[in-house]
Amino acid sequence: MTSAILVSILMTLVAASTPILLAALGELVVEKSGVLNLGVEGMMLCGAVAGFAVAFSTGSTGLGLVAAAIAGIATAMVFAVLTLSLTANQVATGLALTIFGVGASSLIGAGFVGKTITRLGPVFPESLSGHPWLRAVFGHDIVVYLSLALVFGVGFFLRRTRAGLILRAVGENDASAHAIGYPVIAIRYGAIAFGGALAGLGGAYFSLALTPMWADRLTAGRGWIALALVVFAAWKPGRLLLGAYLFGAVMTLELQAKAAGVTWLAPELLATAPYLATIAVLTMMSLGRKTGRLDAPACLGKPFSAS
Amino acid sequence: MLEWRRRREPSTLMLGLSPLIAIGLTMLIGMLVFTAMGYDGFHAVRDIFLTPFLEPQRWPDLGVKAAPLVMIALGLAIGFRANVWNIGAEGQYVMGAIAGTGVALATHGMSGWWILPAMALGGIVGGMAWAAMPALLRVKLQVSEILTSLMLTYVAVQVLYFLVRGPWKDPEGFNFPQTRMFTADQTLPIVIPESLVHLGIPLALVIAVIAWLLMEKTTAGYAVKVVGLAPAAARHGGFNADTVTWATLLASGGLAGLAGLFEAAGPFGQLTPQFPTGYGFTAIIVAFLGRLNPIGIVFGGIVLAATYVGGEIAQTTVRLPQAATGMFQALLLFMLLATDVLVRFRIGWRGRTA
């Protein structure tokens, strides 16, 4: 009995963590290239609505996921053109992207409110995914496994490949990277596109797997939590995984407390937990570090122009 | 081939012109997008950007919507000048309304001229308190104020929900999630009889003038600008960046809180779960449209107010969905950021000397 409860808690935890993990992993790569994209929340919302719209129209959640990634890339490109090609302020443009994502997703989603789709299901056959405790390992959907694979993939790419080294060089010292002959702007375009795809997927995880339906501002600030998570992880993919699952645990706690009918704390105050936890984590990170600006890439947020 | 050439000095002509170009581009692109989506794009754009100005009966509503936007944006702009990115104004706005409403509920059944000023003070203090946490964390621990101020917005909204559904629920309100209605002594006076024009509107203009004097004519305003433009020079000049961070965050929090209280004690007359309308986020667009200049912000506030008023008109005339207003606002911010390139760069043809 207790093991069944533990397994079900674990399943909730993994599901709650996955969208933040995806979005934060994308942002980590973007920031490693020296760009701060504050528009994660906006890209997630665009992915969420595009994924739902396509899944509803075609009946295929797989196509929905593809559409979500494409929508994420498309919105990310708006940010890229403005900040890289037109050297607009990254903070302001990121904010604009979020405001845009809220408006655009609400506009597109208006026709889909109240519609339902089939939830994204587990990958493995019923004998494994329905097993009382084996489902803790085999009961997840494709996006969960993809997110875990991507953590290792991104970690390997950044630390062990030449391309990853160049990306980090661009983020640490764009002027030198440019002087050696690396295409700084093109590399950053690529990183921003990757970040957009993962944010879009993360957003779609809400509308295709967690809820599964469309509602305005469905992601409820998870994009901002993803941004905080990158700081928490000190720009390391492994720690990002840990951090995302920690946040997932906080959110699961909130859900479990609600389900258990906790009465001494109002549900509204319980709902503040993830946001307060984010502030607490950011504070602890700053208290824990010894010198300098954490481990942020040196060129983070600074505009670059070749001329 | 087209070529960008960095200007030695930012172009003052373009500084004034680029917001107008951005508005023009927003109208054009908005028209194309909404036509492509199957709406009457031409009439939608006309109703959103022109009708609110052309029909005098809409003007009071423009003022009512512009006042909170201008007040919040004035505070934000001072911070943005100093590279202090308070993006949680929505939370400070809500918390100001909550604190001011607390005063109103505590003075329930009393009367006197002092009640409304006490509520306004509560609003300012509430907004300031909500901005003080990001300020403290940034100054003491270098934690990004962007993330903390935004996280606190979500907290403020939940606190509002908690209060109106729980301890502050109107005992005579048929169990609706809302507070008592404010009494006459707790409500902003109407300055033009038989209209919606409340005292908050002229006050927003007064605050804009004060902000302009502060930024352009005092050493404090100069310090804010130097800290933002050249932090190293500011240190040599003896300006303390920490003081500027505190001052700008408290000022923007206080103004957002006061705007929230004015909205609660004005158009709303009570607190309800529908109170957070996103003015704190729209004010970011207002600040940029006004080029972070207090007088520019007044005009920026009126333009964004028009998108709200006009958005409602377009909902009835061309059945444009409500969400379209947000789209136009975001589009405007994108266009502003894009046209900003004209201020810093000269565009010409490659090969010719400029």
Q: Enumerate the domain spans of chain B.
A: 2-349
Chain B residues close to A282, C-beta within 8 Å: 137, 143-144, 147-148
d(CA B201, CA B65): 9
The CA distance from A90 to the nearest CA of chain B, in Å, is 10
Stretch A39-50: mean pLDDT: 97
Identify residue A238 by its one-letter amino acid code. G
Chain A residues close to B341, C-beta within 8 Å: 86-88
Helices (H), A233-272: 237-259, 267-270
* Cβ separation A78–B334 shorter than 8 A: yes
Q: Are B62 and B50 in contact (CB under 8 A)?
A: no
* Cβ separation A103–B6 shorter than 8 A: no
Chain B residues close to A221, C-beta within 8 Å: 150-151, 154
Dihedral, CA atoms, B165, B170, B176, B179, nearest 10 degrees?
A: -70
> Quick one: residue A116, left, alpha or beta (phi over 0 = left, psi -120 to 50 = alpha)?
beta
User: Does residue B347 sit at the A interface (CB-CB below 8 Å)?
Assistant: no
Residue by residue, what is the 3-state secondary structure of chain B?
Answer: CEEEEECCCCCHHHHHHHHHHHHHHHHHHHHHHHHHCCCCHHHHHHHHHCHHHHCHHHHHHHHHHHHHHHHHHHHHHHHHHCCCCCCCHHHHHHHHHHHHHHHHHHCCCCCCCCHHHHHHHHHHHHHHHHHHHHHHHHHHHCCCHHHHHHHHHHHHHHHHHHHHHCCCCCCCCCCCCCCCCCCHHHCCCECCCCCCCECHHHHHHHHHHHHHHHHHHCHHHHHHHHHHHCHHHHHHCCCCHHHHHHHHHHHHHHHHHHHHHHHHHHHHCCCCCCCCCCHHHHHHHHHHHCCCCHHHHHHHHHHHHHHHHHHHHHHHHCCCCCHHHHHHHHHHHHHHHHHCHHHHEEEEECCCCC
Q: In Å, how far are A242, B13, B117 from B261, measured between CA atoms?
A: 42, 38, 11
Of B327, B334, B344, the CB nearest to A107: B327
Which of A268, A278, A282, A284 is the mutation pick for testing B, counting most B CBs within 10 A?
Answer: A268
User: Does residue B87 sit at the A interface (CB-CB below 8 Å)?
Assistant: yes
Of A99, A220, A286, the CB nearest to B141: A286
Confidence at residue B206, expressed as pLDDT on a 0 to 100 scale: 96
Q: Domain B2-349, what fold?
A: ABC transporter involved in vitamin B12 uptake, BtuC (1.10.3470)
Chain B residues close to A305, C-beta within 8 Å: 6
Stretch A75-101: mean pLDDT: 92
- Determine the distance from the C-alpha atom of residue A3 to the mean position of all C-alpha atoms in its chain, rounded to a whole number: 30
d(CA B249, CA A97): 23
pLDDT digits (tens, 9 = 90+) for B50-98: 999 999 999 999 999 999 999 999 999 999 999 999 999 999 999 999 9
Q: Find the residue in B nearest to A42 (Cα).
A: B330
| pLDDT score of B325 more than 70 | yes
Kindly report the average pLDDT of chain B as a whole number.
91
The CA distance from B237 to the nearest CA of chain A, in Å, is 23
Q: Find the residue in B nearest to A102 (Cα).
A: B326
* Cβ separation B327–A103 shorter than 8 A: yes
User: Does residue B275 sit at the A interface (CB-CB below 8 Å)?
Assistant: no
Of A104, A282, A305, the CB nearest to B148: A282
Of B87, B148, B166, the CB nearest to A95: B87
- What is the interface pTM, i.e. ipTM, of the complex? 0.88
**DSSP category for residue A81:** I
d(CA A72, CA A223): 12
pLDDT digits (tens, 9 = 90+) for A16-30: 999 999 999 999 999
**Which chain B residues in 167-226 lie under 8 Å from chain A, judged by CB atoms?**
none
pLDDT digits (tens, 9 = 90+) for B14-38: 888 889 999 999 999 999 999 998 8
| pLDDT score of B261 more than 50 | yes
| pLDDT score of A307 more than 70 | no
d(CA B158, CA A268): 5
Q: Domain A17-288, what fold?
A: ABC transporter involved in vitamin B12 uptake, BtuC (1.10.3470)
Which of B98, B79, B212 lies closest to B153, judged by CA? Answer: B98
Q: Find the residue in B nearest to A230 (Cα).
A: B147
User: Does residue B288 sit at the A interface (CB-CB below 8 Å)?
Assistant: yes
> Quick one: residue B64, left, alpha or beta (phi over 0 = left, psi -120 to 50 = alpha)?
alpha
Confidence at residue A20, expressed as pLDDT on a 0 to 100 scale: 96
Which of B337, B341, B345, B350 is the mutation pick for testing A, counting most A CBs within 10 A?
Answer: B337
A127-140: b (≥16 Cβ within 10 Å) or e: eebeeeeebbebbb
Q: How confident is the model at residue B354 (pLDDT cuts 50, 70, 90)?
A: very low
The share of chain A scoring above pLDDT 90, in percent, equals 62
Q: Which structure tokens are listed for A249?
A: 């645990």
Which of B240, B256, B245 lies closest to B133, judged by CA? Answer: B245
Chain A residues close to B85, C-beta within 8 Å: 91
Confidence at residue B351, expressed as pLDDT on a 0 to 100 scale: 59
Stretch A262-271: mean pLDDT: 84
Stretch A154-173: mean pLDDT: 95
Q: In Å, how far are B152, B243, B303 from A276, measured between CA atoms?
A: 8, 26, 35
